[in-house]
């Protein structure tokens, strides 16, 4: 990890008395912000083969997961109580199959030209895309594992650029 911020160790959603609060962004300037999140969906060889062969009875799994992830990013403020509603200028979702590990890496990118970051939107999009893959493949394998969902990159705002390589 790199580029720690001067606010490290501070919980911005708690006030001085320890009560929850929505962060006030009214004084912040709008600027381009980007966040990339990533996670992995691991499954049995037989479920992965069905997914790869597009023989899943519920339809085309990855396109459905892509659409679900985009919709989730757009509704992030409805799911996470203290998130700001913000205008997204881009939501992209990519899938990277690993045939040897019977897994799919889900990578989501969100962008906005607004006063607050898009990390939560990227994380929610990644989580929901992964959950959609689970939902559509669970008939073949109920033991599918969603793992390592994390922020990989963010830019913009006062903390600038941050990497989690």
Q: Give the active site residues.
A: 135
Half-sphere exposure (CA, 13 Å, Cβ side) for 19?
Answer: 2
> What 3-state class would DSSP assign to 7?
coil
Rounded Cα distance between 146 and 27, Å, is: 38
Residue 118 is encoded by which pair of tokens?
Answer: 């898009």
Residue 37 is encoded by which pair of tokens?
Answer: 């999140």
Judge contact between 77 and 86, C-beta under 8 A. Answer: yes
> What 3-state class would DSSP assign to 150?
strand
Tokens 């895309």 identify what position?
Answer: 129
Rounded Cα distance between 51 and 37, Å, is: 22
């Amino acid at each position: 990890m790199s580029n720690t911020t001067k606010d490290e160790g501070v919980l911005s959603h708690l006030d001085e008395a320890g009560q929850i609060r929505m962060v006030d962004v009214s004084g912040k300037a709008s600027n381009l912000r980007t966040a990339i999140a990533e996670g992995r969906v691991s499954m049995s060889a037989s479920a992965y083969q069905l997914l790869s062969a597009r023989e899943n009875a519920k339809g085309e799994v990855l396109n459905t997961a892509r659409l679900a992830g985009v919709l989730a990013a757009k509704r992030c403020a409805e799911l996470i109580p203290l998130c700001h509603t913000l205008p997204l200028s881009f939501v992209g979702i990519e899938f990277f199959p690993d045939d040897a590990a019977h897994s799919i890496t889900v990578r989501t990118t969100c962008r906005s030209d607004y006063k607050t970051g898009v990390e939560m939107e990227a994380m929610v999009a990644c989580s929901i895309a992964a959950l959609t893959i689970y939902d559509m493949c669970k008939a073949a394998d109920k033991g599918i594992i969603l793992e390592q969902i994390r922020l990989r990159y963010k830019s913009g705002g006062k903390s600038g650029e941050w990497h989690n390589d």
